[in-house]
């Protein structure tokens, strides 16, 4: 009996050490890599002449994406929830600089491509926060089944895009404040 209890405690300890050590770093590194790739696509858009390297919009979007990369390790689900309540009740709630810069892009196709890059970056950071949360990892099978059912009925795309953009705005605001 005591051997089983000792083994259970050792396994639980190993799980906690792995989850709150290398797992957290791996999730953060993976998310940073995806955002790096999206930033590189933005650079490619400017290299192809679709944007100007010296435009305020390009610089603002690039710097904002670099902030997402730089502060990805600080993004957690509890901080996001706290920020959502704090921002919701704030009177000086405005748009982040990246959304203003995107809105100022004249070419609609370029603007849509940039929004797509940002959506991928935001979604990656949201997934990273979920995988870094022990509660979300425990609920992952339920979340996956719900997502699959919603996708099968076609109700996930518009609601998901709205959620990703709103959550991404909070993530961006936290990165800009940090």
Mean pLDDT, range 17-45, rounded to an integer: 95
Report the range of poorest mean pLDDT among 82-91, 124-133, 163-172: 82-91
b/e per residue 6-44 (b: at least 16 CB within 10 A)? eeeeeeeeeeeeeeeeebbeebbeebbebbeebbeebee
- pLDDT score recorded for residue 7: 92
Looking up tokens 């982040």 gives 96
Looking up tokens 């795309």 gives 157
The rounded mean pLDDT for the chain is 85
- pLDDT score recorded for residue 36: 96
For residue 113, give every residue at least 6 positions away whose Cβ sits within 8 Å of its Cβ, in sequence order, or none.
45, 50
Give pLDDT tens digits for 93-121.
Answer: 556 788 888 989 999 999 999 999 998 99
71 near 104, Cβ under 8 Å? no
61 near 42, Cβ under 8 Å? yes
Mean pLDDT, range 119-136, rounded to an integer: 90
- pLDDT score recorded for residue 41: 96
Predicted confidence (pLDDT) at residue 176 exceeds the cutoff of 70? no
Predicted confidence (pLDDT) at residue 152 exceeds the cutoff of 60? yes
- pLDDT score recorded for residue 46: 94
3-state secondary structure of 130: helix
Predicted confidence (pLDDT) at residue 165 exceeds the cutoff of 80? no
- pLDDT score recorded for residue 167: 78
Mean pLDDT, range 70-94, rounded to an integer: 73
């Amino acid at each position: 009996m005591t051997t089983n209890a000792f083994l259970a405690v050792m396994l639980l300890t190993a799980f906690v050490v792995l989850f709150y050590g290398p797992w957290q770093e791996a999730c953060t590194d993976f998310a940073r890599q995806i955002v790096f790739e999206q930033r590189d696509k933005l650079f490619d858009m400017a290299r192809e002449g679709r944007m100007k390297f010296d435009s305020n919009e390009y610089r603002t979007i690039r710097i904002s994406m670099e902030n997402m990369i730089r502060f990805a390790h600080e993004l957690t689900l509890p901080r996001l929830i706290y920020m959502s309540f704090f921002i919701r009740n704030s009177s000086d709630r405005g748009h982040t600089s990246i959304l203003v810069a995107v809105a100022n892009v004249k070419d609609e196709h370029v603007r849509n491509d940039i929004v797509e890059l940002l959506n991928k970056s935001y979604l990656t950071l949201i997934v990273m926060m979920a995988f870094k949360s022990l509660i979300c990892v425990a609920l992952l099978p339920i979340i996956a089944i719900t997502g699959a059912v919603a996708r099968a009925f076609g109700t996930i795309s518009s609601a998901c895009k709205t959620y990703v953009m709103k959550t991404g705005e909070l993530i961006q605001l936290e990165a800009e404040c940090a």
